Structure 1
Amino acid sequence: MHVIVLGGGVLGVASAWYLAKSGHQVTVVDRQNSVAQETSHGNAGMISPGYSSPWAAPGVPFKAIGWMLQDLSPFMINMKELDGYTLSWMTKMLANCNTRSYQTNKARMLRIAEYSRDCFVDLRREIDIDYEARQLGTLQLFRKQKQIDALQKDIQVLKQLGIEHQALDMSGCIAHEPALQHVKDKFIGGLRLPGDETGDCFKFTTQLAKQCEQLGVTFLMNTSIQKLNQANGKIISVSTDKGEIVGDTYLCALGCYSPQVLDTVGIKVPIYPIKGYSLTLTIEDENRAPQSTIMDETYKVAVTRFKDRIRVGGTAEIASYNLDLPEKRRASIDFVVQDMFPGAADVAKAEFWTGLRPMTPDSTPILGGTQYSNLFLNTGHGTLGWTMSLGSAKFVSDIINNKKPDIDPEGLSIERYYG
């Protein structure tokens, strides 16, 4: 069977890997000149099942107002980019800000994320792939006592879901992240999730693409996807700026650009591009650099260690498809890395990047089949595409192969929006 994978990010490439491994002829199509050039390029580097939580949660609307009033705000709305689609998506998200929806959505997210972590372990056993991976956990850092006071609710959820965790005082945090000894006045405690990992998503995707090529996968780059074509309940081709591409089965892994392509065959997916920013810095003082990932709870900024670099990611901006890089958006991520790891790197020399995260209103990706018998979806992962990448790809590959997936498919398909 010839499978056409639309999208050359980590989700598309990982899907191509599993499909090729199962014996299919696979072609990956993407508008960029190489893989992982958009959302997968400069993300925060966290593979964080333990940090998988829906954005839509009880109290979030009020918290969002407070965040926007902060000098170093983790959340912003670009009023110039507000339109009907944005407002409709925000309304759907607000409808999920209740306890029942939160618990349902979190369970679905964790189901995929925990499975994906297992897939990473299996992949590393199978092939030699260098993506500067570390398996040293995530440390959620608290600056305020009220954050510690509110921690018990999170710990109860982690206990219920069987996720390993450690509540730490200041000395416990320093034991895992020695560089924090230089900033003892900046924080009071933390929550460590030892099962989390880190790694460079861009390096991973490019390395896995090479493995795919060895299995016979074809990559059609510099090819813009225009529309899908259907007849008699099936997709019959993909129209591109280079002509028609015909296969037997089609998989959409286009992230934020999935809605436009799927709309050409009448499929509406509630995915919105949430804008994020990152810095990549070269380490200048090893003793002042992090060892894994620090998540600053106050500013919602992640500081992640690669081999000889630091990746700092944060900020959620509702700005439609705007990809401008205004310097003022660096403020919070600049501040956190300098405040927590002063002297580790020169922020002035950092690479500043922005990308769009494909967010659904319930924060759960859309995986599986559609109303068309040969069209499948692997999209809508929000900030957790890297975390959920292998698990999502393996799950969808199994669905395409008519094989029972390793995890429960309940609530993961597009049907949940039309039920």
Structure 2
Amino acid sequence: MKVLVLGAGVVGTAAAYFLASDGHEVTVIERHEAAARGTSQSNAGLVSPGDATAWASPSALKTFLRGLWNHELGIKVRPTLDPYFYAWSLRFLRECTVARMRANTRVKLRLALYSRDCINAVSEQTGIHYDERKRGIIYFFRSQKSLDSGTDNYRFLAEHGLPIEIVGRERLVELEPGLAAVKEKIAGGVYSPIDQTGDSKQFADKLAAYAAEKLGVNFLFGTTVTGLDIDGDRVRAVMTSAGPVAADAVVISMGPESGLLGRRYGIDLPVYPVKGYTMTVPLDEFRGPTMGGADEDQLLAYSRLGNRLRMSSTAEFTGFDRTFKPRDFNSILKTSKDLFPGAFDEKKALLWAGLRPMMPNSVPVFGRAKYSNLYLDTGHGHLGWTLACGSGKLITDLVAGRKPEIDPQGLVYQG
């Protein structure tokens, strides 16, 4: 079968790899000049089933509303005239009950655990390395109050299959000596030993090269999708800046642009962009963290990628604006210098901002949408890197008409 994958982020690239491995003739259409130059270029680097708790929750609702006027919070909401933002927001608010948060979290965790195994299998099968570290991730809290309330979500994840260890500050520093300098500022945390870290851009670059060389995947870089050529209940071709490209099946993995394309053709696909910021700095070999982590009170996630420190924070609702200014990173810099004093030179920092493709319920969506040969693999939000390979295997099974290896309930498109 000839399959078109729209988008060569880590999600689309993984889908292309698995589809080609399954025997399909795969072409990937990507507007950038290489893989992983959009959302996947510079994320937090965490492959983190431990971060599977749905964003839409009672606490997120409070922060979301406060973010309308307080732009110093981790969630920032900029006023906009975009009517779709308000439609998305209403759907998000409906998901912010405890019951919905728990249901959505169970679905995300199921896919995240599966995907983490898939990433490791791909690495083993292809020989691809990507500054990965398989030492776990530590999620820590600065006060006893936040530790007591914050561990509830992790206990729920543990009840549904995630191994965790709840640790005090002494055990935390034993696990992560890189936090020794701030031990007294930390009350404790949660250690997820199966979580890991790695550079998604490196992974996607190398996987794209492998897929092209070994599996015959054709990457049409520098090519923009302009529309779909619909014939009855099928997509006959994808219209691009280089002309029409015909196929037997089409998979949409265009990150935040997925919703824009889908809605043009009557597909109810509530993917909305949420901007995140990252800073990457070189580290001395013997300084800084030894594993990934998250400062839950300051809403900062970080990874050690070789001898680089990647730090990520902020969820900003500002439409499709990808611009940034140095002052946008003040909070990241302040928290990072507090956690790892003297470990890096801020003058060498590489700054970046990208758009996460968020669904209101924080759960990605897969499967056939409206047309008999049009499929979705999108809406992964802040866990795109974590979920990419499991998503690639899942969409391959759905395109092939097979029963997926994992339960697809809660993941398959219902529009």
Contact (CA 8 Å) 1:300, 1:314: kept in 2 or not? Answer: yes
Task: Give the AA of the match of 1:241.
Answer: S
CA distance in 1, matches of 2:3, 2:186: 50
Task: Give the AA of the match of 2:126.
Answer: I
Task: Give the AA of the match of 2:47.
Answer: I
CA distance in 2, matches of 1:186, 1:348: 26
Counterpart for residue 58 of structure 1: 58
> Aligned Cα RMSD in Å?
1.5
Q: 1:406 and 2:405 equivalent? A: yes
Counterpart for residue 113 of structure 1: 112
Counterpart for residue 237 of structure 2: 237
Structure 1 position 145, deviation (Å): 1.6
Counterpart for residue 334 of structure 1: 333
CA distance in 2, matches of 1:175, 1:72: 33
Contact (CA 8 Å) 2:30, 2:223: kept in 1 or not? Answer: yes
Task: Give the AA of the match of 1:75.
Answer: I
SS in 1 for 2:58: coil
Task: Give the AA of the match of 2:37.
Answer: Q
Contact (CA 8 Å) 2:63, 2:75: kept in 1 or not? Answer: no
Q: Against the structure 1 CA distance between its residues 227 and 355, is the aligned structure 2 distance closer, same or farther, given a 3 Å change threshold?
A: same
Deviations 1:103-144 (A, max 9, x none): 111111111111101112221221200101111111111111
CA distance in 2, matches of 1:70, 1:172: 36
CA distance in 1, matches of 2:66, 2:249: 47
Deviations 1:245-267 (A, max 9, x none): 11111111001001222223221
Q: What stretches of structure 2 of length at least 5 have no aligned partner?
A: none
CA distance in 2, matches of 1:187, 1:39: 31
| Aligned pairs for 1:11-410 within 5 A | 11-65=11-65, 72-79=72-79, 81-214=80-213, 215-284=215-284, 286-410=285-409
CA distance in 2, matches of 1:68, 1:281: 31
Q: 1:2 and 2:10 equivalent? A: no
Task: Give the AA of the match of 1:204.
Answer: F
Task: Give the AA of the match of 2:82.
Answer: D
SS in 2 for 1:377: strand
Structure 1 position 318, deviation (Å): 0.4
Contact (CA 8 Å) 2:140, 2:295: kept in 1 or not? Answer: yes
Contact (CA 8 Å) 1:139, 1:293: kept in 2 or not? Answer: yes
Q: Against the structure 1 CA distance between its residues 276 and 155, is the aligned structure 2 distance closer, same or farther, given a 3 Å change threshold?
A: closer
TM-score by length of 2: 0.97
Contact (CA 8 Å) 2:46, 2:302: kept in 1 or not? Answer: no
CA distance in 2, matches of 1:162, 1:393: 22
CA distance in 1, matches of 2:398, 2:296: 37
CA distance in 2, matches of 1:262, 1:401: 22
Q: Against the structure 1 CA distance between its residues 71 and 397, is the aligned structure 2 distance closer, same or farther, given a 3 Å change threshold?
A: closer
CA distance in 1, matches of 2:45, 2:233: 40
Structure 1 position 69, deviation (Å): 7.5
Q: Against the structure 1 CA distance between its residues 174 and 71, is the aligned structure 2 distance closer, same or farther, given a 3 Å change threshold?
A: farther
CA distance in 2, matches of 1:124, 1:391: 13
CA distance in 1, matches of 2:151, 2:186: 18
CA distance in 1, matches of 2:400, 2:244: 25
Deviations 1:361-392 (A, max 9, x none): 00000111112111111000000000000001
Aligned residues: 414
Contact (CA 8 Å) 1:140, 1:192: kept in 2 or not? Answer: yes
Contact (CA 8 Å) 1:281, 1:347: kept in 2 or not? Answer: yes
Contact (CA 8 Å) 1:73, 1:299: kept in 2 or not? Answer: no
My pick for the range that moved more, 274-283 or 321-330, is: 321-330
Task: Give the AA of the match of 2:231.
Answer: A
Q: Percent identity?
A: 36
CA distance in 1, matches of 2:81, 2:183: 42
Structure 1 position 152, deviation (Å): 4.6
My pick for the range that moved more, 290-299 or 63-72, is: 63-72
Structure 1 position 204, deviation (Å): 0.2
TM-score by length of 1: 0.96
Contact (CA 8 Å) 1:228, 1:262: kept in 2 or not? Answer: no
Structure 1 position 241, deviation (Å): 1.2
CA distance in 2, matches of 1:60, 1:222: 38
Task: Give the AA of the match of 1:202.
Answer: K
Contact (CA 8 Å) 1:72, 1:331: kept in 2 or not? Answer: no
CA distance in 1, matches of 2:27, 2:71: 47
My pick for the range that moved more, 27-36 or 322-331, is: 322-331
My pick for the range that moved more, 93-102 or 177-186, is: 177-186
